[in-house]
Amino acid sequence: MRIGYGWDSHEFKKGLPLKVGGVELEHTHGLAGHSDGDVLLHAITDALLGAIAAGDIGTFFPSEDARWKGADSVVFLRAAMEQVHRAGYMVANVDSTLILAEPKLSPHAKKIQARVAELLRIEPNCVGIKAKTPEGMGTDNAAIAHVTVLLLRRANKPRARMTAAAHAKRGARD
Ligand SMILES: [Zn+2]
């Protein structure tokens, strides 16, 4: 069993599309960044890579690399999921807190939850999406995301044939 933590922030700029958790939201401002600025997907990507001690998003996708200019951040998340898979793990659940003044995320939380669940190959009830406003932080022009993720060891084929008792014993050890 592994725990991972990720954090990210991006600045709002007028006229850019706003993407949060792989979902495009209607808003006057979007998040600036080398890629599409999806603050939630970046924090999830870092949490996944952190959980398996595989560096961070910049290790795999350096911001100075022109290939990632305006990139869909789903690409980064998929690459992190591939690393998680190769390391022998799968996602158990993820929790997140977004901090932003605008727009209100609660009307979109279900859609973001469903999209993130799909990308992480887990059920929506294993994805926590929480949003807060930046009270007293002076970060009204930024979106911030904090993410924790829990990984479980993937059962490979021989293990899949283990008895329930052996699984329980193994679970206790992991
Ligand atoms: Zn980012």
Q: Which domains can be identified in the chain, with CATH numbers?
A: 2-173 (3.30.1330.50)
Identify the residue whose tokens are 């014993």. 169
**How high is the pLDDT of residue 163?**
62
Q: Structure tokens of 98?
A: 């977004």
Q: Checking phi first, is residue 106 left (phi over 0); if not, alpha (psi -120 to 50) or beta? A: alpha
Where is the binding site, in residues?
Answer: 8-10, 34-35, 42, 56-58
Cα of 159 vs centre of ligand 1, distance in Å, is: 37
Check residue 174 and give its pLDDT.
59
Q: Quick one: pLDDT at residue 34?
A: 83
pLDDT at 62: 87
**35 Cα to the center of ligand 1, angstroms:** 8
CA of 42 relative to ligand 1 center, distance in Å: 5
One pLDDT digit (tens) per residue for the chain, 174 residues = 999 999 999 999 999 999 999 999 999 999 998 899 999 999 999 999 999 999 999 999 988 888 888 889 999 999 999 999 999 999 999 999 999 999 999 999 999 999 999 999 999 999 999 999 999 999 999 999 999 999 999 987 555 455 666 666 666 555
Q: How far is the CA of 46 from the centre of ligand 1 (A)?
A: 9
Read off the pTM: 0.89
Q: Find the 57 Cα to ligand 1 centroid distance in Å.
A: 9
Give percent helix, percent strand, percent coil of the chain, each to the nearest 5.
35, 30, 35
Interval between CA 108 and ligand 1 midpoint (Å) = 20
